Amino acid sequence: MVETNGKVNISVGFEFIQDDNDNAVMLMFVFWGILILIIGATGFIGNILTIIVLFRKEMQSTTVYFLRTLLITDTCIISGCILSLSIISITQLYPQMWLLTDVIYPSTYTPINYIVMTLQFINFWVTVAVSVEHYIIICHPYRAERFWQKRHGFILIGVISALAMAYNIPRYFATTVTFCSASYACHSIISTAFG
């Protein structure tokens, strides 16, 4: 079993900044701790505005159901990125938060990774479904009524979700959590033989 590398290696010109360096820890904090929070907050604001529009009573087409699915998956992906990247970068700057870094994060890494990757799969294929739907509506308008009904949209979203969950099951078995050799309660994420 191999320990997963969670370190940051940054190269600037011909110089390499390792995350044992204070500059690398600060860069990690700026990029993952601050910028992801700003981008995530912007995404949440955009998603709230989209919720106001898409969840109106008169919005009832299959395209709207696809867009609602994209909205939900996007919001959950943003949350997962903030949980997995921002929080861990903040703990690198404040070592007194060792409980979060050494115990909680390793224990939640695998489920959060599975959920985020499943949501990305759903997001991608629902985007493809929207594109196919619009192709059929524009290029074959007389056949569109037969192919794209609300029930077909729900079934397609359900099939995509089931495939996404099944496809990402191996991610659950790719890593595991073990105790560190440190004297305090410490956990480490390692790759399994399957991973």
Q: How would you classify the pairing of strands 15-18 and 175-179?
A: unpaired
pLDDT of 109 reads 80
Q: What is the 3-state secondary structure (H, E, C) of 148-190?
A: CCHHHHHHHHHHHHHHHHHHCHHHHCCEEEEECCCCCCCEEEE
Q: Is the dihedral of CA 113, 85, 31, 69 positive or negative?
A: positive
179, 188 contact by CB (below 8 A): yes
Region 18-35: what's the mean pLDDT? 71
Domain ranges of the chain: 2-191
Q: What is the pLDDT of residue 12?
A: 43
Please answer whether residues 188 and 166 qualify as being in contact, where contact means their C-beta atoms are separated by less than 8 angstroms: no
Element spanning 10, H or E? strand 9-12
- Which pTM value belongs to this model? 0.75
Q: What is the pLDDT of residues 91-101, one digit of tens each?
A: 777 777 767 76
d(CA 112, CA 104): 12
pLDDT in tens, 103-127: 777 777 888 888 999 999 999 999 9
CB distance 191 to 1 below 8 Å: yes
Q: Which residue has the tokens 């990690």?
A: 28
DSSP H or E stretch at residue 66: helix 62-81
User: Would you say 174 and 189 are in contact if contact means Cβ atoms under 8 Å apart?
Assistant: no
> In the prediction, which pLDDT does 167 show?
95
Beta bridge partner(s), residue 10: 17
Which token pair is 5?
């590398």
Integer distance in angstroms from the first to the last C-alpha of the chain?
9
* Mean pLDDT, residues 52-71: 87
Asked if pLDDT for residue 16 goes beyond 50, the answer is: no
What is the fold, at CATH topology level, of the domain defined by 2-191?
Rhopdopsin 7-helix transmembrane proteins (1.20.1070)
**Partners of 15 in the β-ladder:** 12
* Per-residue model confidence as pLDDT tens digits over 64-106: 889 999 999 999 999 888 877 777 777 777 777 767 767 777 7
- Residue 179: CB atoms within 10 A of its CB come to 10
pLDDT of 40 over the 80 cut: yes
